[in-house]
Amino acid sequence: MVFLPSTTPATLAADASLKRNRLDYSRHLSAEARVRLPNPIKSIWKVAQVKAGTINMGNGDPHHTLYPICEMNFVVPSIDEHDPVQSWRSSTGEQNVIASYKDDPCTLSLRTAFAYGAGAGLKEVRDALANLNDRIHSPPSHTVSLSLGNADALTKCFRLLGDPGDSFLCEEFTFSAMTNAALPLGIKWVPIRMDNDGLIPSDLERILSNWDEATQGRRPHVIYTIPCSQNPTGSTLSLERRQQIYQIAHEWDIIILEDDPYFFLQYDLGVNQSTIQQYGYTRAMADVLPRSFLSMDYDGRVMRLDSFSKIVAPGMRLGWVTSNSFFAEKLDMLTDSSSQHPHGMGQAFIAELLGSDGWGVDGFMKWVSSLCNEYQRRRDLFMDVFRQKVAISGFASAEAPQSGMFVWIKINLEHHARFSTSQTPTVTGGPTTNTTDLMDELFRKLLECGLVMMPASTFAIVDGTGTMDSHINDRVNFFRATFVGTDETIRDGLTIFGRTLEEFFI
């Protein structure tokens, strides 16, 4: 849904109050970020871009006449097809060629794309993505910076906001490749309980209200969340929960890292065809996509991370971060003195794809809509085969996800003959069941049968405060499975899963 800010007197008064009481974003910076200086060469480079025709004898760029490339052609699906994804898959549709040139007119010249740039990325690409943001999220006031995908962006956000000894909040099951990146920085994770609908706001409130800085250190000031198709559980936060979480973040001055690579992959949307005909795909999709934290961010506490990995190609390693201008500047300073700006080829491609000679934003959203239809078909196939081959035994169950790529499969271990609930914990508050042992055994058995599914233990964040009413290792009786493979992969994989599961329980 597009967020249209209210202009009621009460809202105007609240906005005026916020301007008088501007948040001190600097208090959220890490010690590293506070002392980091701008890259002086990049600072001069930025100044040199302001005045057209400036002779730049300061940078060490090879001259563009010496680039061993003058043109790049990208063969892409024609967005004029009724269903561009199916036409592309079946090779029955038309193709379009979009081009980037060094010496001829185009959206982003290769002279610019292949030269050194600044950390935020090139203006043409940032402007295109800011336009996409505005049409989908209508954020009140935010700045776009490019990244080498969400992983690059997140690790930089951790460095920007976290000091050794800090505690950050996250879902109790989450994408461990990312949370692990924070551990060498000395950041500790505090898990928030989840249910079938995702992160539980009341548990977030409980943690913050009961936090004792004398014994636990600084109260958490950052929450990392994957709101759509939460990885690994596949849950998507409702609007009500998002509003509750944002309000809690507002009250406790929490920065929200909104990692949302699956945002555009939503199912059962019910896109209004008359809206498409009257206003185009962007408006029609914006009306039915979930309301993001960014769209409700009236005081600048959201750093939103988007990626092309799930909707174009993961190997592109190109994404974008949307944040307030203060954080954007600090993030760009970090990039200028580390990975440098994102690669020119990816920026050139996106500039042309979203430009007037490519798909444009509306064509891009038509591709996204078609992509949703195809992934929804695969999800439905997965669930149909799951019911026939797996759920019929009663040993496992799963719900169809609203978005993304994953199904969170619950293994009903209480039906297993060797399941025990009377273990004596080795530490206070430790696990009291043999869930972990049984799940490890099942994982190995599946592997021997030629099937890999990700066990929940891979994603579990162990609570270090001892305040959970049950240990997470008693609740790791899940597998994460993907449905984005071929139809044959889905059918064969679930057949193996169902057969092996029955052997395991008997």
Q: Angle 239-252/201-209 helices, nearest 10 degrees?
A: 10
- Please give the CATH topology (third level) of the domain spanning 371-505: Aspartate Aminotransferase, domain 1 (3.90.1150)
The structural domains of the chain, with segments of one domain joined by +, span 371-505
Q: What is the torsion angle, in degrees rounded to the nearest 10, for the CA atoms of residue 224, residue 230, residue 232 and residue 233?
A: 130
Instruction: Tell me the residue type at 490.
Output: I
Backbone angles phi, psi at 302, to 5 degrees: -100, 130
| The pLDDT value given to residue 48 | 61
Rounded Cα distance between 33 and 185, Å, is 13
- Rounded Cα distance between 241 and 411, Å, is 27
What is the pLDDT, as a whole number, of residue 173?
A: 97
Alpha-carbon gap, residue 223 to 307, rounded angstroms:
19
CB 120 within 8 A of CB 332: yes
Burial label for 455, CB within 10 Å (0-12, 13-18, 19+), is buried
pLDDT digits (tens, 9 = 90+) for 340-354: 878 889 999 999 999
DSSP 182: H
Tell me, what's the pLDDT at 2?
33
Tens of pLDDT, residue by residue over 309-346, are 999 998 888 999 999 999 999 999 998 888 887 888 99
Place of tokens 């679930």: 494
Residue 463 has a pLDDT of 84
> Whole-model pTM?
0.90
Instruction: Please compute, for residue 107, the number of CA atoms within 13 A of its CA located in the half-sphere on the CB side.
Output: 24
Q: Is 264 helix (H, G, I), strand (E, B) or coil?
A: coil
> Which pLDDT does position 51 carry in this prediction?
66
Helix %, strand %, coil % of the chain (to 5) = 45, 15, 40
| Kind and range of the H or E run holding 198 | strand 198-199
How far is the C-alpha of 127 from the C-alpha of 142, rounded, in Å? 12
pLDDT at 422: 77
- Could you give the CA distance from residue 95 to residue 87 in angstroms, rounded to a whole number? 10
Separation between Cα atoms, residue 71 and residue 104, nearest integer Å: 9
**Cα distance between residue 290 and residue 136, in whole Å:** 10
Nearest to residue 351, comparing CAs of 105, 63, 70, 62?
105
Degrees, nearest 5: CA angle 453-457-459: 85
pLDDT at 10: 42
Q: What are phi and psi of 97, to 5 degrees?
A: -115, 120
Residue ranges in the chain modelled with pLDDT below 70: 1-22, 37-52, 54-60, 119, 425-429, 465-469
The secondary structure of 79-130 as a DSSP string is: TTSSSHHHHHHHT-S-EEEEEEESSS--SS-HHHHTS---TT--HHHHHHHH
Rounded CA separation 354/284 (Å): 18
Question: What is the residue whose two structure tokens read 């199912």?
Answer: 267
